[in-house]
Amino acid sequence: MALEIGNLIKPAQDALAPVGGTLSDIWQGVVGDRVAAWRLKNAVKIQCEIHRELEEAGLALNASKIPERYAFAWFEEATQQDEPEIQALFARLLVRAANGDEHAKDRRHITLLSQLTPADAQVFAAMFDPKTRQGLARGMRHTPPVWDEGSITRKMEREVGEHARASIEHLVNIGIVSRAFRLELGGMRSVRRYLNLDDVGNIAKAAAEDLKIERELCATVLGMSLYSAVREVKSDLS
């Protein structure tokens, strides 16, 4: 049976219709109808993406597993997306939520996806990819990775483009990645061996010259959950 978004999300059936009595005829004609048509066009494209995801994963869509609150929130945000990269993520999120994926069922991810640009999504996928986490991040492969901010920024700029810096900043702002500061003592420990500990002036000078503050980025729990919910996996939703 073909999936019909309108049947899946009953509360949202009127979302594309004009709000009676609240808009002037001119406003409705210039903007209202265009917005409705635009959102309908987006809904059709996302429906195609849903079918593609279902086919590739060998799954069926179990709409009964999607609470109405989640369904309406998803529909409201998804139909406002006209960029294929983001539409694909929304489709993947719904398919996995309908198949019981606990990460995908977190409706906070709907808001997070709506805030991403295609460039942000590209940087997000590249940073959280297990190969990147193995090769560059500190920590184990299956734990939230921690990156040296300078190193990961340069790597993303090489792989994705100069927009990577702004995208990383945005991922921090929306809570997918967090920023932390770490004191790097460098050679201070060895310097102390050769200093008279009573010589406070020399110790302070050495500390000022040797102490460095390193900026780190760490994947948040929410960020890891979102990555799990929308990662590119053909048949494994675990």
Q: Which residue has the higher pLDDT, 129 or 196?
A: 129
pLDDT digits (tens, 9 = 90+) for 2-14: 555 555 544 454 5
Q: Strand order of the sheet with strand 146-148?
A: 146-148, 212-219, 177-184
| HSE (side-chain half, CA atoms, 13 Å) at 212 | 9
pLDDT digits (tens, 9 = 90+) for 162-191: 999 999 999 999 999 999 887 666 555 555
Using a pLDDT cut of 70, give the percent of the chain over it.
66
> What ranges in the chain are assigned the alpha helix state H?
5-8, 25-27, 33-57, 68-78, 84-98, 108-114, 118-128, 130-135, 149-159, 164-173, 188-193, 200-210, 221-230
pLDDT digits (tens, 9 = 90+) for 133-144: 555 555 444 467
pLDDT at position 31, please?
A: 65
In DSSP terms, which residues pair with 212 in a beta bridge? 184
Residue 174's contacts (CB-CB under 8 Å, 6 or more residues apart) are 112, 115
Q: Please provide the DSSP assignment of 181-225 as one string.
A: EEEE-TTHHHHHHTS-TT-HHHHHHHHHHH-EEEEEEEE-HHHHH
Give dist(CA 168, CA 125) in Å, integer: 11
pLDDT digits (tens, 9 = 90+) for 55-90: 888 888 888 889 999 999 999 999 999 999 999 999
